Structure 1
Amino acid sequence: MKLARTRSTAAGVIAVVAAMTLVTACNRDSSDSAGSSSNAPAIGIDLPRSDSDFWNSYAQYLKKDIKSDGVNALPLSNSQNDVTKLVANVQVFQNTGAKAVVMAPQDTGAIASTLDTLSAAKIPVVSVDTRPDKGDVYMVVRADNKAYGTKACEYLGKQLNGEGKVAELQGALDSINGRDRSEAFAACMKEKFPKIKVFELPTDWKGDVASAKLQSLLAQHPDLNGIYMQAGGVFLQPTLALLEQKKLLKPAGQKGHITIISNDGIPQEFDAIRKGQIDATVSQPADLYAKYALYYAQAAAEGKTFKPGKTDHDSTIVKIPGGLEDQLPAPLVTKDNVDDKTLWGNNVG
């Protein structure tokens, strides 16, 4: 009987692993594997989602850099904003020989056990754009998200002359990015522009949720004169569509214009700035996220180490709980510099 139970348990484990592999395979694309540097350490890369123009641009840069740099990347996976899929994808990376893993966990609190598993297996992790709440990481490649919130606050506050009503389309508050941007924006408004009323609208990074909540807010406060979008990649189009429907999409400089600042720096935001539909955005460096995610993943697989301090690429590495973070520059973009060719949003198809 003991032998029968052992065989039954083993069969169950195999079935679970097979099911996880099957689920993960549905989210993988073998065409994204580099295959050009088989002697280099294998790198597992999970894309976080495909419903955002920003993350789609990041994916485009990743694939380009994988090929140009000869990175030995395993077939890319996409966890589609689902931590369960991310866990399964990472398991496949581990089973197929990854020597380092690149991920961008959207739920930064739920990934801790997976990080512990990878740490125990001595597989270093590079986290892009998001910093896990717990667990060890080799490097976080990220911009200063508190600075995003502060820059948005200062820009809106000055444009509105310190008075008015602002809708804040927040990201997911279970994400450190959503928390950092929201907390910094709130602190700045309270300190510098106390006469501006801020309406915080949590959206879980979902454009349809943002649109629905903004529509309800406009019905209650038709005199709203400012909007802060924490992610232009998911909020821009639904927000502009709603304002146009309500006949509130008036160009900058015209009476009744709602001042809008965003975060991401995608080409669509730049076009909206040129048209006067929105006023500014803070450009997240999708190109540098891809470049340095691969750089640090290869370095980690080769056993290299880094220390806090200034880098040779205009950023600063800082110590964080569980590892290090390379804080890349993220400039404010307005009509004055929207055509700057050094901005990645002007160089992507």
Structure 2
Amino acid sequence: MLKRRAVVSVAVVAAFAAATAGCNSSDPASSGGSGTGTGDAKPPIAVDLPRADSDFWNSYAKYIPQYAKESDINLMTPTNSQNDIAKLVANAQALTAQGAKAIVMAPQDTGAIATTLTMLESKKIPVVSVDTRPDKGKVFMVVRADNRAYGQKACEFLGEKLGGKGKVIEFQGSLSSVNGRDRSEAFAECMKTKFPGITIFEEPTEWEGAKASAALQTRLAQHPDIKGIYMQAGGVFLAPTLQLLKSKNLLVPPTDPKHIFIVSNDGIPQEFEAIRKGEIDATVSQPADLYAKYALFYAKAAVEGKTFTPGPTDHDSTIIDVGNGVLEDQLPAPLVTKDNVDDASLWGNQIGK
């Protein structure tokens, strides 16, 4: 399963590169004005994709050229840092050398990007950070959902399904990421406060499906009475989790006493299909489409010299001040269950159609 997903990821990246080639800053036809590539060219905007081994981020990648075209943005050929902070640093340097006037990125290690952000600030190149918020350093805008709410919603869903007692395994994302920390801390605090009768097995995974699967294998051997799973990233955890549960004859409908209740984060089409089949029970729909749309919106706005202030937006979100002069646009991320999984407004029901 993992090998197959890797091949799919490579294909997605290749197709994405082809789709964005026409938006490359070196293409005179897309450079604005008379199309001659002279001084009236639109400022080139760069995007670094964080990884290609996640169905969620591959979906985000598909939205980038669509919204770049809609917003008349001169999009440079995107780079991909492959979940490697060293590659992200190198990509940022290369994009700067190629003339990027703004960079959209999604640092997976939110503590190690500070030096690069300082370098970009010194060169007056604004940065929009998607999904993750750097621990230090200045960015123009963070485009993100409330990740503490992810953990809170997962806790409340599982707590109610288990009747406030039992055992739950949690696949934590990387704790070097603000997302992993926010989801984990909120989940733990909620469980301690609202459902103290539930035991949590916290399993750090570094956002790697193989580590999550191995942890589940071990915990089920030790605690066959586990009744809940919280997956902090369905894009990397869903397939290996379902594969393992199937091998143990535990992939059964919610009406079966052996059913393990599962709540996830991402909102990818594969999770929706699993909800329809009764294989998992819920996910928080992380807005891949809106991440792409508003990351590019703010990058373009930064280049144009626009500014923003905290408060409600015109797109059903709220901009908050997270300190150090950094603003974060917190986009909506609804909980999806069997009751609303067919909602046509969810991006997971739109992509590819």
Instruction: Give 1:69 deviation, angstroms.
Output: 2.7
1:41/1:302 contact within 8 Å kept:
no
Match of 1:48 in 2: 50
Size of the aligned set, in residue pairs, is: 323
The 8 Å contact of residues 54 and 236 in structure 2, kept in 1 or not, is answered as yes
Name the counterpart of 1:335.
338
What amino acid does structure 1 have at the position aligned with 2:200? V
1:173-252 → structure 2 map (5 Å cutoff): 173-252=175-254
Residues 218-256 of structure 1: CA deviation (Å, up to 9, x unaligned): 000000000000000000000000000011111112211
User: Match for 1:118 among 117, 120, 123?
Assistant: 120
* Counterpart residue identity of residue 345, structure 2: T
Does residue 345 (structure 1) correspond to residue 348 (structure 2)? The answer is yes
Larger Rg: 1
Q: Does 1:321 align with 2:323?
A: yes
Q: Select 2:93's aligned residue among 91, 94, 101.
A: 91
Matches within 5 A, 1:1-349: 29=17, 32-33=20-21, 34-35=23-24, 36-38=30-32, 39-322=41-324, 323-349=326-352
Q: Is the 8 A contact 1:280 1:335 kept in 2?
A: yes
Quote how far apart the aligned CAs of 1:67 are.
Answer: 2.6
SS at structure 2 position matched to 1:110: coil
Does 313-322 or 162-171 show the bigger shift? 313-322
* CA positional deviation for 1:66: 1.8
Contact 1:265 1:281 in 2 (8 A): yes
Letter in 1 for 2:58: N
Checking the alignment, whether the CA contact within 8 Å between 1:30 and 1:76 is kept in structure 2 is: no
Separation of aligned partners in 1, 2:71 and 2:111: 33
CA contact (8 A) 2:118 2:138 kept: yes
TM-score (norm 1): 0.91
Q: Distance in 2 between matches of 1:263 and 1:211?
A: 16
Q: Is the 8 A contact 1:79 1:85 kept in 2?
A: yes
Q: Which runs of 5+ in 1 are unaligned?
A: 1-25
| Aligned AA (1:313) | H
Q: Separation in 2 of the partners of 1:289 and 1:45?
A: 12
Amino acid aligned to 1:53: D
Give the residue type in structure 1 aligned to 2:259.
H
Deviation at 1:32, TM superposition (A): 1.9
The 1-side partners of 2:147 and 2:337 are apart by 19
Distance in structure 2 (CA, Å) of the matches to 1:43 and 1:82: 21
Q: Name whichever of 315-324 and 152-161 sits farther off.
A: 315-324
- Residues in 2 aligned to 1:315 and 1:348: alpha-carbon distance in whole angstroms: 22
Given that 1:164 and 1:197 are in contact with CA atoms closer than 8 Å, whether structure 2 keeps it comes out as yes
User: Greater shift after overlay, 40-49 or 178-187?
Assistant: 40-49
Distance 2:31 2:317 in 1: 29
Please report how far the alpha carbon of residue 37 of structure 1 lies from its aligned counterpart in structure 2 after TM superposition. Answer: 3.7
Per-residue CA shift, 1:286-325, capped at 9, x if unaligned? 0000000000000001110000000000000000133100
Worse-superposed segment, 199-208 or 57-66: 57-66
Mapped to 2, the partners of 1:31 and 1:133 lie a distance apart of: 33
Pick which of 36-45 and 215-224 moved more.
36-45
What is the letter of the counterpart of residue 329 of structure 1? P
1:115 partner amino acid: L
CA-CA distance at 1:44 after TM superposition: 1.1
- SS for the counterpart of 1:199 is strand
Cα contact 2:251–2:279 (8 A) shared by 1: yes
Q: Which residue does 1:18 correspond to in 2?
A: none
Percent identity at matched positions? 67
Deviation string for 1:257-307 (max 9, x for gaps)? 100000000000000000000000000000000000000000001110000
- 1:67-105 residue CA offsets vs partner (Å, 9 max, x unmatched): 333210111100000011101111111111111110000
In structure 1, what residue type is equivalent to 2:350?
Answer: N
Letter in 1 for 2:144: R
